[in-house]
Amino acid sequence: MAALSLFLDVPLTRGADRLLDAYRQDPSPDKVYLDHWGCQTDSGEAWVCPAVRQTLRQIADDPTLDHEYLPVLGFPRFTQAATELALGRASCAVTENRAGGVHTVGGRGAVRIGAEFLRRWYDRNSPSPVVVYIAFPQWDSLQCVFQDAGFTEIRPYHCWDPVKLAVATEGFLAVLESAPDRSIVVLHAPEETGLSPTQWEEVARTMRRKRLFPFFDVPAQGLASGDLDRDAWALRHFVTHGFELFCAQSFSKTFGLHDERVGNLIVVARDNETLARIRSQLQKQVMATWATPANVGARVVATVLSNRALWGKWKQSLRMLVEKIMLIREKLKEKLRILGTPGSWEHLTAQAGTRSFMGLFPSQVAFLAKHKHIYLHQSGQFSVCSLNSHNLDYVAQSVSEAVSAAAGGAPGLSQEEME
Amino acid sequence: MAALSLFLDVPLTRGADRLLDAYRQDPSPDKVYLDHWGCQTDSGEAWVCPAVRQTLRQIADDPTLDHEYLPVLGFPRFTQAATELALGRASCAVTENRAGGVHTVGGRGAVRIGAEFLRRWYDRNSPSPVVVYIAFPQWDSLQCVFQDAGFTEIRPYHCWDPVKLAVATEGFLAVLESAPDRSIVVLHAPEETGLSPTQWEEVARTMRRKRLFPFFDVPAQGLASGDLDRDAWALRHFVTHGFELFCAQSFSKTFGLHDERVGNLIVVARDNETLARIRSQLQKQVMATWATPANVGARVVATVLSNRALWGKWKQSLRMLVEKIMLIREKLKEKLRILGTPGSWEHLTAQAGTRSFMGLFPSQVAFLAKHKHIYLHQSGQFSVCSLNSHNLDYVAQSVSEAVSAAAGGAPGLSQEEME
């Protein structure tokens, strides 16, 4: 046997969780992590929708359930209910039977399966590679998905203007205008971007003219406005206007059920026959990736969505979460104002949803990590639910110092530290 | 908006479940399906290990469990227990800390992630493409996995000699001898192939000399002999003899927990540092595929493997299943003998495990489907557990007729029907 490994040239690669790693390794008792993906309770624990616990117990107690494999495309009752939740039961695509779901391993699995399909079948006769556009900061997690699916031209775009502290509508439209015809545009968390219906209409018009393909990615329908239909406005607008599209849908955040990986890839096609052909190819891909998805999470979601009492409970949970999120935003803004922090902090309450831009430059974010043990994404995006009554004062005080330091130029970071 | 679909040229592809589809569409009340993947009870229902139901209830009732994402590489307690179950706690690879698991979406997910890694990093400097060998009939389900992972040279081999009605040792060794150096050989269900320890030693010697890479695929450790250690003999032999290898491990069959997709990709590397580098790349791949695996199934398996009482219960379940499987084999053989079926049926009891070769030619398999509404894989492989007290007589009588018809040449199928 050769003494050397067959894998001598495999390089060590660092995980995507560098921020979490840095937080974990920080020995400071003051440390705060502001980049959770899910919602947190006031004591800093992961929030779980009460209807989820109840339904999980019902499922575990049901002796009639066997544990047979699900079909390759997943639990049919789940994909149907999930697709109707996103598109609306009265959607033309639903009534015309040309929208369908593929039950996937989380939202990430939906993006992956969708990306692989598009790489194989979308715009195949184009002489140049299809370009994919992904917004910052989702670029960090989704770029590798399209890359591994085989796309070679992936470009980032901005939906947030860090100077104007507002949604970057003009910049976004300019990107769409300059994109090669038939590019794929990933529209992440449309309900949280802050684009108004009128602005979405303009986006749709531009995308139609340029024949751009919309790949929606909806991680938390209902957690922006508290209203499931309102949060789905942009997606439904595109469907109503005749687009063929994909939509990756996740139930991790809205059910607090992150660990069971409940996702759905919604396909809206021109007609039922096209949908059947697309789904047959997706089925083939799934067979070669994970064969069939896991069951219990989708069973919980399907049960809640189809049971009037549980559905009411769940919707109430969403509204309560959204109210809590808005209250945290208000409190943070107010505290920053009282502390005399330079600048306007209106953008904190103008944004919606679980993740928002704090309105900090990378140097200020670095200052917070280095001097205050507060960890958030370098774009300044943070999870609003990571703030609670125990850490809000400290975070506000620290943000105020970071901004004042940068404004005064005094104890800020050197150029070297900022990198 | 263009009236034509963007996906006009996407062809409809038929699913891999053609046999199941044919069975479902067969209106005959006599129909029998003999290709289940999991174990069935005598009443034809999917078997679930009693310890699974008990553990699922405990998990659902535990209010301290949040539903946070698992780490990208999965539930650590599960991957460790699963890896030790396969390799043995005292394995040199375990004690030297150079074996580790990646929690995957079922065994299929483990093969996929492993295949993608090998395509990227294994034998990169070879001028010709790396060849992958997969045994029949697993070829049907695994060929697409390696193909989608980017391999272009995938070749089938036989482990079963349909004429001698015995394991095809010589043919298998000849394939290994003729394989290009450094090819990858998928060794599916080593405990069920029927190769003796001496024959496995020869396989290992040949693979070492030819520098072939072993990719084990272990879907049902414990269900061949009823003894977990004995079923792992071949894998452990390779590890003891210093091979670096992959092993895709599944708990679907042995726990009767097919729908929660509990898999583990075991990596055995030259040393701990190599293992860390390999796992870091696997982590990157997982991030771009399903981000993190589902939890509950792995939690059940980890709980059972680490709790003395549940572990005892589970091992007893396995032994009972194996006894049942052996009894069905005996009964089928005896009935075929009593019916005066031409040929020897000793191979039915000489094989072990849940899936076995009936010893039929494709024409006889086709006869059974067409005239008897009995559906099994065209290779003649069938799931022993699909037989029960309600269908055993009918299946034996039908097999006898199929064989007699073929022997007599009379009511057999025409060449056309056989295709």
Beta-carbon contacts of residue B357 (< 8 Å; ≥ 6 apart): B160, B162, B165, B347, B351, B379, B380, B381, B382
Residues of A in contact with B99 (CB under 8 A): none
Q: What is the mean pLDDT of residues B395-415?
A: 73
Amino acid at B218: V
Residues of B in contact with A284 (CB under 8 A): 13, 15-16, 144
Q: Annotate chain A with three-state secondary structure.
A: CCCCCCCCCCCCCCCCCHHHHHHHHCCCCCCEECCCCCCECCCCCECCCHHHHHHHHHHHHCCCCCCCCCCCCCCHHHHHHHHHHHHCCCCHHHHCCCEEEEEEEHHHHHHHHHHHHHHHHCCCCCCCCCEEEEECCCHHHHHHHHHHCCCCEEEEECCEECCCCEECHHHHHHHHHHCCCCCEEEEECHHHCCCCHHHHHHHHHHHHHCCCEEEEEECCCCCCCCCHHHHCHHHHHHHHCCCCEEEEEECHHHHCCHHHCEEEEEEECCCHHHHHHHHHHHHHHHHCCCCCCCCHHHHHHHHHHHCHHHHHHHHHHHHHHHHHHHHHHHHHHHHHHHCCCCCCCCHHHHCCCCEEECCCCHHHHHHHHHHHCEECCCCCEEEHHHCCCCCHHHHHHHHHHHHHHHHHCCCCCCHHHHC
User: Where does the pLDDT of residue A412 fall: very low under 50, low under 70, confident under 90, or very high at 90 and above?
Assistant: very low
Lowest mean pLDDT among B12-26, B130-144, B152-166: B12-26
Taking 90 as the threshold, does the pLDDT of residue B95 lie above it? Answer: yes
Number of Cβ within a 10 Å radius of residue A401: 18
Taking 70 as the threshold, does the pLDDT of residue A2 lie above it? Answer: no
Using CA atoms, how far residue A113 sits from A108, A252, B12, in Å, is 9, 18, 17
Between chain A and chain B, the number of residue pairs with CB atoms below 8 A apart is 256
Claim: this prediction has a pTM higher than 0.90: yes
Distance CA B344, CA B340 (A): 10
Distance CA B301, CA B78 (A): 7
Residues of A in contact with B277 (CB under 8 A): 7, 10-12
Q: What is the mean pLDDT of residues A324-336?
A: 96
Smallest Cα–Cα separation from B298: which of A259, A257, A302, A288?
A259
Give the helix/strand (H/E) hosting B111.
helix B106-121
Q: What is the pLDDT of residue A16?
A: 64
Q: What is the mean pLDDT of residues A342-357?
A: 93
Taking 70 as the threshold, does the pLDDT of residue B418 lie above it? Answer: no
Distance CA A8, CA A14 (A): 17
Residues of A in contact with B281 (CB under 8 A): 10-11, 13
Contact B189, B356 (CB under 8 A): no
Taking 80 as the threshold, does the pLDDT of residue A32 lie above it? Answer: yes
> Using one digit for the tens of pLDDT, what is the confidence trace for A232-252?
999 999 999 999 999 999 999
Is the Cβ pair B288, A147 closer than 8 Å? Answer: yes
Residue B25 three-state SS: helix
Residues of A in contact with B13 (CB under 8 A): 280-281, 283-284
State the pairing for strand pair B213-218/A32-33: unpaired
Contact B34, B376 (CB under 8 A): yes
State the pairing for strand pair B381-383/B355-357: antiparallel
Which among B72, B276, B295 is the nearest to A259, CB-wise? B295
User: Where does the pLDDT of residue B279 fall: very low under 50, low under 70, confident under 90, or very high at 90 and above?
Assistant: very high
Distance CA A271, CA B3 (A): 11
Beta-carbon contacts of residue A347 (< 8 Å; ≥ 6 apart): A165, A166, A357, A359
- Indicate the length of chain A as a whole number: 419
Q: What is the pLDDT of residue A86?
A: 98
Q: In this prediction, what percent of chain A has a pLDDT beyond 90? A: 87
> Using one digit for the tens of pLDDT, what is the confidence trace for B261-278?
999 999 999 999 999 999
Taking 50 as the threshold, does the pLDDT of residue A7 lie above it? Answer: yes
Which among A12, A148, A281 is the nearest to B277, CB-wise? A12
Most B CBs within 10 A among A7, A48, A147, A238, hence the mutation to make, goes to A7
Residues of A in contact with B105 (CB under 8 A): 105, 290-291, 293-294
Rg of the Cα trace of chain A? 22
Sheet containing A245-250: order of strands: A99-105, A262-268, A245-250, A213-218, A184-188, A131-135, A153-157
Is the Cβ pair A148, B270 closer than 8 Å? Answer: no
Q: What is the pLDDT of residue B247?
A: 98
Distance CA A325, CA A343 (A): 22
Chain A residue with Cα closest to B211 = A1
Taking 70 as the threshold, does the pLDDT of residue B414 lie above it? Answer: no
Q: What is the pLDDT of residue B411?
A: 37
Taking 80 as the threshold, does the pLDDT of residue A343 lie above it? Answer: yes
Is the Cβ pair B63, A57 closer than 8 Å? Answer: no
Contact A317, A50 (CB under 8 A): yes
Binning chain B into helix, strand and coil, the percentages to the nearest 5 are 50, 15, 40
Lowest mean pLDDT among A384-388, B319-323, B346-350, B407-411: B407-411
User: Where does the pLDDT of residue B25 fall: very low under 50, low under 70, confident under 90, or very high at 90 and above?
Assistant: very high
Residues of A in contact with B69 (CB under 8 A): 37-38, 252, 258-259
Which among A6, A15, A274 is the nearest to B7, CB-wise? A274
Chain A residue with Cα closest to B104 = A290
Taking 50 as the threshold, does the pLDDT of residue A183 lie above it? Answer: yes
Q: What is the pLDDT of residue A17?
A: 77
CA distance A108 to chain B (A): 5
Q: What is the pLDDT of residue A3?
A: 72
Q: What is the pLDDT of residue B14?
A: 80
Distance CA B134, CA A271 (A): 39
Our measurement of the distance from residue A409's CA atom to the centroid of its chain's CA atoms, rounded to an integer in Å, reads: 35
Residue B322 three-state SS: helix
Q: What is the pLDDT of residue B72?
A: 94
Crossing angle of helices B50-61 and B296-306, rounded to 10°: 110
Most A CBs within 10 A among B275, B290, B301, B386, hence the mutation to make, goes to B290
User: Where does the pLDDT of residue A83 fall: very low under 50, low under 70, confident under 90, or very high at 90 and above?
Assistant: very high
> Using one digit for the tens of pLDDT, what is the confidence trace for B226-256?
999 999 999 999 999 999 999 999 999 999 9
> Tokens in use for A20?
């979490």
Phi-psi category of residue A256: left, alpha or beta, with phi > 0 → left and psi -120 to 50 → alpha: left
Q: What is the pLDDT of residue A408?
A: 60
Contact B172, B157 (CB under 8 A): yes
Which among A48, A213, A280 is the nearest to B66, CB-wise? A48
Residues of B in contact with A61 (CB under 8 A): 57, 60
Distance CA B257, CA B255 (A): 5
Smallest Cα–Cα separation from A141: which of A364, A301, A355?
A355
Q: What is the pLDDT of residue B17?
A: 77
Is the Cβ pair B294, A48 closer than 8 Å? Answer: no
Taking 50 as the threshold, does the pLDDT of residue A294 lie above it? Answer: yes
Q: Give me the domains of chain A, ranges plus CATH numbers.
A: 18-49+312-406 (3.90.1150.10), 69-306 (3.40.640.10)
A403 phi/psi in degrees, rounded to 5? -70, -45
> Tokens in use for B138?
């697993």
Is the Cβ pair A294, B290 closer than 8 Å? Answer: no
Residue B145 three-state SS: helix
Is the Cβ pair B13, A259 closer than 8 Å? Answer: no
Q: What is the pLDDT of residue B91?
A: 98
Is the Cβ pair B109, A290 closer than 8 Å? Answer: yes
Residues of A in contact with B292 (CB under 8 A): 106, 259, 261
Q: What is the mean pLDDT of residues A285-311?
A: 96
> Using one digit for the tens of pLDDT, what is the confidence trace for B176-216?
999 999 999 999 999 999 899 999 999 999 999 999 999 99
Taking 50 as the threshold, does the pLDDT of residue B259 lie above it? Answer: yes
Distance CA B343, CA B346 (A): 9
Contact A317, B173 (CB under 8 A): no
Smallest Cα–Cα separation from B371: which of B411, B415, B404, B419?
B411
> Using one digit for the tens of pLDDT, what is the confidence trace for A96-127?
999 999 999 999 999 999 999 999 999 998 89
Chain B residue with Cα closest to A145 = B288
Q: What is the pLDDT of chain B when averaged over all its residues?
A: 93
DSSP B300: H
Q: What is the pLDDT of residue B324?
A: 95
Most B CBs within 10 A among A13, A39, A124, A290, hence the mutation to make, goes to A290
Is the Cβ pair A6, B108 closer than 8 Å? Answer: no
Taking 80 as the threshold, does the pLDDT of residue A366 lie above it? Answer: yes
Q: What is the pLDDT of chain A when averaged over all its residues?
A: 93
Taking 70 as the threshold, does the pLDDT of residue B16 lie above it? Answer: no
User: Where does the pLDDT of residue B381 fall: very low under 50, low under 70, confident under 90, or very high at 90 and above?
Assistant: very high
> Tokens in use for A290?
């994970």
Distance CA B103, CA B87 (A): 16
Distance CA A406, CA A417 (A): 13
Q: In this prediction, what percent of chain B has a pLDDT beyond 90? A: 87
Contact B218, B86 (CB under 8 A): yes
Using CA atoms of A346, A351, A356, A357 in order, give the dihedral in degrees to the nearest 10: -40
CA distance A260 to chain B (A): 4
Number of Cβ within a 10 Å radius of residue B403: 23
Q: What is the mean pLDDT of residues A206-225?
A: 97
- What letters, b where the CB count within 10 A reaches 16 and e where it falls short, cover A357-373? bbbbbebbbbbbbebbb
Taking 70 as the threshold, does the pLDDT of residue A146 lie above it? Answer: yes
Residue B59 three-state SS: helix
Taking 70 as the threshold, does the pLDDT of residue B403 lie above it? Answer: yes
Q: What is the pLDDT of residue A65?
A: 86
Residues of B in contact with A293 (CB under 8 A): 105, 261
A311-318 long-range Cβ contacts below 8 angstroms, 24+ apart: A313/A49, A313/A50, A313/A51, A314/A49, A314/A51, A314/A254, A314/A255, A315/A222, A315/A228, A317/A49, A317/A50, A317/A51, A318/A222, A318/A223, A318/A226, A318/A228, A318/A254
Number of Cβ within a 10 Å radius of residue B118: 22
Which among B37, B45, B144 is the nearest to A66, CB-wise? B45
